[in-house]
Amino acid sequence: MCSLVLAFGLVVIVMSAALALKKIDRETILKVVVIPMAVMLAVFLVVAGYSDSQIAPAMGLLGTIVGYVLGTSKPVSGEKTDG
């Protein structure tokens, strides 16, 4: 089961990398690659049979990474910035 999850994650990452070959901005590529990778790693930890106390720190780290990627964006032209 673990190898199926990892194979599926690899397919998603390869498809995301194929999108990176096109002329797409870096932020979009980062979001398209990091979010599926974090989800795949979280599912892998659950399928691999780790206990709650072992998974909790990893989920916190993955959530922090995804939150950072989704939270960082360039201001849209015409949008006011603080300060």
> Is residue 5 a contact partner of residue 44, using CB atoms and an 8 Å limit?
yes
Please report, for residues 16, 19, 25, 34, 35, the alpha-carbon distance to residue 22 in angstroms, rounded to integers and kept in the order given.
10, 6, 9, 17, 19
* pLDDT for 1 beyond 80: yes
> How many separate domains does the chain show?
1
Residue 50 lies in a domain: yes
Residue 13 lies in a domain: no
Residue 78 lies in a domain: no
Query: What is the per-residue pLDDT for 60?
Result: 92
Domain carrying residue 47 = 2-8+24-70
Residue 75 lies in a domain: no
Residue 82 lies in a domain: no
| The model scores a pTM over 0.75 | no
Residue 16 lies in a domain: no
Residue 35 lies in a domain: yes
Residue 31 lies in a domain: yes
Question: What confidence tens digit (pLDDT) does each residue in 10-53 have?
Answer: 898 888 778 777 777 778 778 888 888 888 888 888 888 888 89
